[in-house]
Amino acid sequence: MTGLIYMWLPAPTDFILLPNDVHVWRIDLDRPEAQLHNLAATLSSDELTRANRFHFQEHRQRFIAGRGILRRILAGYLGIEPQQVQFDYQHRGKPVLADTFASTGLFFNLSHSQGLALCAVSCDRQIGVDLEYIRPMSDVEALAQRFFLPREYDVMRSLPADQKQEMFFRYWTCKEAYLKATGEGIAQLEQIEIALTPTESARLQTLQDWSLIEIIPADNYLAAVAVAGFGYQLKYWQY
């Protein structure tokens, strides 16, 4: 498939987001203990409560890393300290910047899977990102029949067995990225039609005013970013 990103640039010193910029950050969630301690110190009390609900230490630490680094990234754009970033939550739990920051026009979305996360940021454009670790699934065709539209399912069913799994995750990440951008739930998966082939990049068939960017951020991972509109400049940063 297309969309392989060969170079993730080092984090910039100055976080500058122009009106047509779309920035995608790759975040390694497995961090040293000392760094986790510093990141935890920037979290709100409700974020720490959520972190402590995780049964396994690995999951707890990855949550702290993801939210702490998200705060650092957003703080860089906003010109404030990470602990000053405030979130509101939409009815389906999607975090957005609090109304205090509405005038900045900053949109963001975070997705994580296993030890990796992606954060997508834009100015005045709705944006969503979904990241999935490609894991073996014996029922991939049945899942496609359940969640995908007939034409999407037919594409998957026509492929050789060794291509079906990748195609499933391409469809899934593209749909989820759009649904996360708009704040809709997974129940809407079959309302969104994606046009793609094994050799061509995805596009939203049902909505012409949205863009899809497919990314292979690391071995055994697939991701997609959904952005409102066109004519943007993409930059890829490694945190």
Give the CA count within 13 Å in the CB-facing half-sphere of 136.
2
Report the predicted TM-score, pTM, of the whole model to 2 decimal places: 0.94
Tens digits of per-residue pLDDT, 194-216? 999 888 889 998 788 999 999 99
pLDDT bin (cut points 50, 70, 90) of residue 82 is very high
Tens digits of per-residue pLDDT, 163-173? 999 999 999 99
Do 108 and 69 sit in the same domain of this protein?
A: yes
pLDDT bin (cut points 50, 70, 90) of residue 190 is confident
Can you give the CATH number for the domain in which 160 is found? 3.90.470.20
Do 136 and 105 sit in the same domain of this protein?
A: no
**How far is residue 62's CA from residue 87's CA, in Å, rounded to a whole number?**
19
Amino acid residing at 166? E
pLDDT bin (cut points 50, 70, 90) of residue 5 is low
Do 200 and 148 sit in the same domain of this protein?
A: yes
Do 120 and 35 sit in the same domain of this protein?
A: yes
Do 23 and 106 sit in the same domain of this protein?
A: yes
Q: Which domain holds residue 135?
A: 131-228
Dihedral over Cα of 31, 32, 33, 37: its sign: negative
Cβ partners under 8 Å of residue 155, min gap 6? 167, 196, 197
**How far is residue 125's CA from residue 232's CA, in Å, rounded to a whole number?**
10
- What's the structural domain count of the chain? 2
Point out the domain boundary residue: 99, 125, 151.
125
Burial class, 234, CB count within 10 angstroms (exposed 0-12 / middle 13-18 / buried 19+): middle
